[in-house]
Amino acid sequence: DGGITQSPKYLFRKEGQNVTLSCEQNLNHDAMYWYRQDPGQGLRLIYYSQIVNDFQKGDIAEGYSVSREKKESFPLTVTSAQKNPTAFYLCASSIYGGYTFGSGTRLTVV
Amino acid sequence: GQQLNQSPQSMFIQEGEDVSMNCTSSSIFNTWLWYKQEPGEGPVLLIALYKAGELTSNGRLTAQFGITRKDSFLNISASIPSDVGIYFCAGPTGANSKLTFGKGITLSVRP
């Protein structure tokens, strides 16, 4: 079955560390997205990529980085520059405007 | 940027009741989408609306695309406990048609 997979489901990070969240899709979608979700804040766009080897900043890109070396993969790195990284992170892919979301990664800073 | 407004943040209803939630914007949208997110999961598309005035149903769910293209509403009839979750409206904005989401409404259903 086609789908979008995020891993790990739960991730704990020490302050000052970088961590990378994985997002893989086998839907053959061109576009991929990373959203951050905080309680009562809805979904805020971090980065997006319309095509391999290209990506753009979203509304809250500071402290995050991404790469898009393969169509199937769009990993997100949360760097030490992100001062408040504890959140639920959602990856999505789309074609012709129809979005499919992964199950999310909950990142906690300890 | 374009914003989508959803309120209240939370709604509490009794099992069997109908519930209506709306989404408004100061800008025109050409597509309205309604998503549901269950705890610890990603949002799942419930209904997509593509034409002003369109009324679309999906089981107990009915959604309408407002005539002005600045609002949409979602109705859930005869609610059941599994309707619990966060309901988001969304619409494409910008040159790359990125989705903008409302802040969501958390629905609780009392048995």
pLDDT tens per residue, range A26-64: 999 999 999 999 988 889 999 999 999 999 999 999 999
What percent of chain B lies above the pLDDT cut of 70? Answer: 96
CB A34 within 8 A of CB A47: yes
Q: What is the pLDDT of residue A68?
A: 98
| Token couple for B43 | 């949002």
pLDDT tens string B29-40: 999 999 999 999
Q: Residue A8 and residue B8: Cα distance in Å, rounded?
A: 33
pLDDT tens string A67-98: 999 999 999 999 998 989 999 999 999 987 77
B97 pLDDT more than 80: no
Nearest to B32 by CA among B5, B86, B75, B71: B71
- Chain B residue at shortest CA distance from A57: B98
Mean pLDDT of B71-91: 97
Q: What is the pLDDT of residue A98?
A: 79
pLDDT tens string B47-62: 999 999 999 999 999 9
- Partner-chain residue, chosen from A50, A98, A102, that has the shortest CB–CB distance to B96: A50
Which positions in chain B touch A102 (Cβ < 8 Å)? Answer: 42
Q: Residue B98 and residue A45: Cα distance in Å, rounded?
A: 9
B93 pLDDT more than 90: no
A104 pLDDT more than 80: yes
| Token couple for B102 | 């409302």
What band does B3 get if pLDDT is binned at 50, 70 and 90?
confident
Q: What is the 3-state secondary structure (H, E, C) of B83-102?
A: HCEEEEEEEEECCCCEEEEC
Residue with tokens 């789309």: A94
A1 pLDDT more than 70: no
Q: Residue A65 and residue A18: Cα distance in Å, rounded?
A: 10
Pairing verdict, β B44-49 and B32-37: antiparallel
Which positions in chain A touch B101 (Cβ < 8 Å)? Answer: 35, 42-43
What band does B2 get if pLDDT is binned at 50, 70 and 90?
confident
What percent of chain B lies above the pLDDT cut of 90? Answer: 86
Query: Distances from the Cα of B97 to the Cαs of A26, B34, B48, B54, B93, in angstroms?
Result: 22, 16, 15, 21, 5
- Chain A residue at shortest CA distance from B31: A97
Q: What is the pLDDT of residue B95?
A: 65
Q: Residue B6 and residue B14: Cα distance in Å, rounded?
A: 21
Q: What is the pLDDT of residue B96?
A: 64
